[in-house]
Each structure stands twice: as structure tokens, then as C-alpha cells.
Amino acid sequence: MSIEYTAIKLVKRPETTITPDLFEVVRLTTPELEDGQILIKQTHMSLDPAMRGWMMPDRDSYIPPVELGDIMRAGGVGEIVESKNPAMPIGARVQGLIGWTEYAVSNGDGLNLLPEGIPTEAVLCVLALPGMTAYQGLMNVGKPKPGETIVVSGAAGSVGSMVGQIAKAEGLTVIGTAGTDEKCQWLTEGLGFDAAINYKSDGLATKLAASAPNGVDLYFENTGGSVQHAVFDLMNAHGRIMVCGMISDYNTLTPSAGPNWIPIIKKRLTIQGFTMPDHYDKIPGMMQAMSKYLMEGKIKYRAHTLHGLESAIEGINLLFSGGNTGKLMVEL
């Protein structure tokens, strides 16, 4: 039985900001399934900063861009509503790259079946790409030791809020930066960060130094900009910087200058970039580790939920304006 549904295609590439004319809303009809295929009805779709990179043709990017005319790429969770695949029964929940669409046909490749009992919002907040990114960057790249001090920029974001909570669970002193006082209050009072600093307030460098009297051992970089320079000056010898995002520079044509490299020598720093497609093989193990934190009550999460597929078109910009208050997602 074919079903009519809505999907959103990418039809133009962004110059700087993401505008509605980049997208085309289309109505499609589900096809007859072939053997091995399933039909997924998406219930929640994730909106992530990486999406802007996926819209751009860039030979240096870590995954190919979305082709013009294709349905825009996104992670999400859905329910299997038809199945010709015995490993993927009707009624099961799956997670994976479903796309900006209400329905999708798949042969199951790249999809994970979800256990029962974990709310879908928790899946997208904790067990999806942002949580895996946080775990990989902090634990496998940064290799933190109990007692060390970490600064997390973009700490109220989907990745940053997970990084800080994992770091607390691992016995670190955790300082976050965010762009509003309300976010900072949530970090300290809601998530148990030791300190949170509004990077838009005066005296960022002084406040950071006061919050980190023993210096900074680890810096989890999500933003770039003024926070990067202020934290760089506070790094301790043998410090490690995990470079995950540079959201303050993604929407500019002239990215800001980085710090001079002399302190990299003097302090024997390691600065390391990482992206998740290099580490997909570790996801099952990382999901187990994150589920354990979740069950132990060590990880809280906050969803910022939009409603209806088309709300993504304007809503994605909340990520770049800092207007979201929690992991941004669309409930379909």
C-alpha cells in the first residue's frame, strides 16, 4: 500500500547563511518494497551543525556533500512500518541517516535497532552522533585523567553538554562556555559543571583564569573565536586540545586567525582534529558506555523540539544563532 509523504530536497548551496531558498519541499509516494527492504516512518529527526558542511561541495570534507536535488541528509529515529527483511521486524525502532523526510526505504545498512525502554529524545540526545562525538573526542582523543581540568566551548550544545557530563563522571573539574546566562545556569545547576562562563560577557579571559586556578589540561573545542584564544593562553604543559567544531567560523567567508604556535612547543601541546566517520566501528562500544552513564543517572539531557518536517528549514539556524536550548530536533 503506497503512502503519500513530504520530503525536503537540497536544491541550492549556501553562500554564508542557510536560507529557505536552498530547499524544495516535495510530495512523494512510497514504492513497493523489494526483498530485504524496510519502510521507516521517521518520528524524530536530528538537526546538527555538521549539516551546513554537508551542503557544501568541498574536496577537503570528510564525507561527500549532499548532491543538489537529493533529499537533505539527517540522522533520525523511526519506526519500521513495513518489512521484507526478517532481521528488521515491523514495530521495531531504528536509528540512522534517514534524511529530511517523513518516510524512507532502506535495506537496513547503517541502521541500528534500538533497545526498548529508552525514550526517543534520549536516543537523539545521548546515544546518537552528538553523544558518540563527545565520547570519542573526550575519552579516545583527549584521554583525560581524574583531577585534570577541562574547558568545553559550546558547552550547552548537543556535543558540549555531553562532554562536560562525561568529564564530571570521570572525575574532572569542568568549565563550560556558552552564549547566554540562562545556558550557563543550566550547565552549573542542571548538569553539575563546576563553572560556566558567558563568553559574550566582559572579562572572558579573567573569568576563565579565575575558574581554572590550576590551569587547563584539556580543551574541547566546539566554537573557535574568542574562547579559543583565551583558553589557549591557559593551557598547561602536556595539554591536549580536541578540535571538534568551529561553529563561530562556519558561516563566515573569512575565518578568524588561530593562535601563534610558539606555545605548542613550550607547553608540548597536542592539538587533534577528529570526525566521527573515521570511528563508526567504535559506535557499538561507545553506545554501551553512554547507556551505562545514562542508566546511572550521570547524564542528563535537554531536547529543543520543533514540530513538523518543514520546521527544519528555518529551525536549523537556531544552531548558528545560539537560539536553541538543548539538542535541536524535529518531531514529525
Residues near a second copy (CB under 8 A): 53, 58, 60-62, 221, 224, 228, 237, 243-246, 249-250, 255-275, 278
Q: What angle do CA 72, 108, 303 make, to 5 degrees?
A: 55
For residue 150, the minimal CB distance to a second copy (Å) is: 18
For residue 154, the minimal CB distance to a second copy (Å) is: 13
| Helices 225-232, 204-211: crossing angle, 10 deg rounding | 50
Query: Which phi and psi angles does 98 have, rounded to 5°?
Result: -90, -40
For residue 264, the minimal CB distance to a second copy (Å) is: 4
**CB of 294 within 8 A of CB of 288?**
no
CA dihedral 231, 234, 240, 242 (to 10 degrees): 0
Decide whether 193 or 219 has the Cβ nearer to a second copy: 219
Decide whether 255 or 308 has the Cβ nearer to a second copy: 255
User: In angstroms, what CA-CA distances link 159 with 89, 113, 141?
Assistant: 31, 22, 15
For residue 61, the minimal CB distance to a second copy (Å) is: 6
For residue 91, the minimal CB distance to a second copy (Å) is: 39
Decide whether 121 or 221 has the Cβ nearer to a second copy: 221
226: nearest Cα among 260, 203, 244: 203
Decide whether 153 or 211 has the Cβ nearer to a second copy: 153
For residue 199, the surrounding DSSP H or E stretch is none
Grid cell listed for 266: 613550550
Query: Which phi and psi angles does 221 have, rounded to 5°?
Result: -95, 115
Decide whether 192 or 259 has the Cβ nearer to a second copy: 259
What's at 204, amino acid-wise? L
Grid cell listed for 312: 527544519
Contacts of 150 (CB under 8 A, 6+ apart): 138, 142, 144, 163, 164, 167, 172, 173, 174, 175, 216, 217, 218, 219, 220
For residue 221, the minimal CB distance to a second copy (Å) is: 7
Torsion-angle region of 95 (φ positive above 0: left; ψ -120 to 50: alpha; else: beta): beta
Decide whether 143 or 268 has the Cβ nearer to a second copy: 268
Decide whether 15 or 182 has the Cβ nearer to a second copy: 15
User: In angstroms, what CA-CA distances link 59 with 70, 136, 177?
Assistant: 19, 24, 32
For residue 79, the minimal CB distance to a second copy (Å) is: 34
Decide whether 270 or 291 has the Cβ nearer to a second copy: 270
Distance between CA 212 and CA 290 in Å, rounded?
Answer: 27
CA end-to-end distance (rounded Å), the chain: 21
For residue 116, the minimal CB distance to a second copy (Å) is: 36
For residue 95, the minimal CB distance to a second copy (Å) is: 24
Decide whether 29 or 260 has the Cβ nearer to a second copy: 260
